[in-house]
Structure formats: structure tokens, C-alpha cells
Amino acid sequence: MSTAYIWHELFGWADHGSGGLFPADPAVGLQPISHHVAHPDTKRRLHELVVVSGLIDHLVRVAPRPATEEELLRVHAPEHLARLEAESALPKGGDAGDGISPFGKGGYDIARLAAGGAIALVEAVVTGQADNGYALVHPAGHHAPGHTGMGFCLLNNVAVAVAHARAALGVRRVAVVDWDVHHGNGTQSIFWDEPDVLTISVHQDGCFPPDSGHLTERGGPAAPGSAVNVPLPPGTGDFGYLYAFEHVVAPALRAFAPELIVVASGFDPNAMDPLARMLVTSRGFRGMAEQVLRVAEEVCGGRVAVVQEGGYSPHYVPFCGLAVIETLAGVKVLDDAFFPVVGGMTGHETTAHQKALVDEVAARVLPRPAGAV
């Protein structure tokens, strides 16, 4: 049993400008602040907890390398890459594409290292250098479709890694499980018409992007059923998420039987996140990771590559991440010091409206049992 782990100090140097959520603009009342909501310190703090807790001693450190242009072109348009490269050379950097996702000078190099980190992880897992692994990369990627960046994402790290597995590592069928609280719209759009890539996104209904991630979005004409969306109501906590994984995610993975599972791992469903209103604790993230690992053992020899997406509580993300990485490595090194407080916030049972949504998705998505009417 071995678990690969990727982090690079350069990820912690990503600069999202002086705005908080949107770029500072006094004319509309947006004040500058020292930490943008996506400031990479949150992820650096997770890395430092991995080290200080001793979990690092149970992991195999794998170095990231920048994704090459050829690797990025498998999913991204040349015009998008050219624009990022040009803006990245400017003294004050540029924007990923939607005007609310600034990056500093050299930001394209950091984004290419993040995409290459996802590639390096998938390579380690597919070649058997590790059984599974975690790429703690920054910036995130899942909102970026082929032609632009958006929602703090420049390059779609997960999509680049999936395309690499398929084009260079002899893997055909890949499933992506996205538990970031926002819809994985970019990944879904890149593989929209690709029957050999299943994208599953579990997210807070209507959180971001607007009007995206509806349960009726099921894949393109050449790949019906290759997209699955579980838009959960606000307030869904550990038990609602685990119910969704048990009744939709795990059975959909079993039915698809991929050769590799890639997890788009945002920690923004956490109970202390400023950008969403879910109530997931480290216990919920641990349970989701356990369920994905269990299915992976059944269908693809345990091959799971977990790639970091969002997560904005500098306080709580480290404990959520530690729980997931502990689960991958099959060890327990430290209790969640916040659990005495957040454990009470998550609720104690799944509510009827949470179950109803999951049950509706399950009824649409899963193959009917033989003999059912």
C-alpha cells in the first residue's frame, strides 16, 4: 500500500490580487484586503499539517513538473494558452478569463505546474509507482472549459491529467468524481461528448457557476449518460453527502467500471467555508474518500488519483484534507481538533428534502434492476 503526495512551494506563491472575492474596486465599494478568499495559504496550511502531523512519513513524495504545451492542447484551445502566456508576462499579470480571476506575473507558470502535478500523480498511480495519491495543487481547475479560464481556474488540471492518462498511458475509461461544492462545469464540458469519460459532480445547487449543474445535464449526443449531476440543497451535511455517495456516486461508478478514478477534491463543502453553505466535516470527507476507494478496489485495482480544487477556510481545510489523505494512506495520525465544534453543526440525520433530491437523481441515472417496471 503506497500513497503518492504532491505539493510545490510555488503553488503557495500564486497571487490573486488585492481583492477579497472580486478585484478591489472602490467605485462599487469593493475594498482591498490582504488575503483574497482563494489565497493559497489555505492549501499551504494543509501541506504543513501533513508534515507536522507526521502523515508525510506515510506518503511517497512525487515532484510535479510543468505540463507541456502538447499536454495542455489535448483539452485547451491554443488561443486560450497564448492569451494566458502573454498576460502572464505583463508586470501586473492578467485574468483567467471572466474578470474575477486575477493572476500575477508568472501565474501561467504556476498553473502549468499545477496541471503537471495532476499529470505526475496520474502517472504514478497508473504506472504502479503508487497505489493511489493526492496532488495538493493550486490554482484549481474544474471551472475551466477548453476555451477559457473562470472561477479562479486557469487550466483544467483534472481534465489535462485524464487526457494524459488516455493519450499517453494506455488508459481508456476514466471516471471523475468532483466533490467540490461548486459545479465541475469545465470538466463536464471538456468530456461532454466523450462516452469513455464519466464526470460526476456533487455540489450545492445553484452555488457557482449560475444556472449550471442541473440534474438534467447528462452528456452530449455521442455520450448520453456520461455526465451525472447531484445538485444538493444548502445545509446538506455529512449524512446527506454520504447518502448521495452511497445511492448515486458509488453505484454509477460500479456500473461504468472505469480503469482509473480521478477525484476533483474541493474542501469548500466544509462547515466553515465562506463561499458555500454546506455542513460537511472531516468525517464526511473521510467517508466519501472511503467509498471511492472501496469502489476503486472493486473495479480498478484501487487506482484513485485525488487532485485539489477549491476550499477557503484556512482554519478547517487542513483537517478536512488530512482526513482524506489519511484515508488514502490507510493510516490515522491525528484527530480533527475542530470536530467538537463542527460536529454539532452538521446535523444528525439526512432530511427528507435532501434524500428526495438524491433519490430523484438515482432514479434517473442508475440502470434499472432486471425485472423492474
Active site residues: 143
- Retrieve residue 261's grid coordinates: 478514478
Among 36, 44, 80, 182, contact with Zn ion (rule: CB under 5 A): 182
Show the site string, 78-107: x = touches ligand 3YP by CB under 6 A, - = not: ----------------------x-------
Per-residue x/- marks for ligand 3YP, 301-340, CB under 6 A?
A: --------xx------------------------------
Distance, first Cα to last Cα, the chain: 44
Closest to 103 in 3D by CA, of 39, 46, 160, 47: 39
DSSP 341-373: HHHHHS-SS--HHHHHHHHHHHHHHSPPPTT--
Asked if 180 interacts with ligand 3YP (CB under 6 A), we say yes
Distance CA 243, CA 90 (A): 48
Site pattern 185..214 for ligand 3YP (x: CB under 6 A): -----------------------x------
Pick the closer one to Zn ion by CB: 180 or 217.
Answer: 180
Closer Cβ to ligand 3YP, 309 or 326, answer by number? 309
**What is residue 277's DSSP assignment?**
-
Please identify which residue in the block is written with the cell numbers 472549459: 145
Q: Which residue is nearest to ligand 3YP (CB)?
A: 310
Stretch near ligand 3YP under the rule CB under 6 A, chosen from 25-33, 117-125, 135-143, 192-200:
135-143
123 binds ligand 3YP (CB under 6 A): no
Contact residues for 136 (Cβ-Cβ < 8 A; gap 6+): 5, 6, 7, 11, 43, 46, 47, 50, 308, 321
Q: Do the strands 102-103 and 94-95 form a parallel or antiparallel pair, or are they unpaired?
A: antiparallel
* Cell numbers describing residue 276: 458555500
Nearer to ligand 3YP, 7 or 267 (CB): 267
20, 141, 151, 321: residue in contact with ligand 3YP (rule CB under 6 A): 151
Closest distance of CB 100 from ligand 3YP, Å: 6
Please report, to the nearest 10 degrees, the dihedral formed by the alpha carbons of residues 233, 239, 241, 244 taken in order: -100
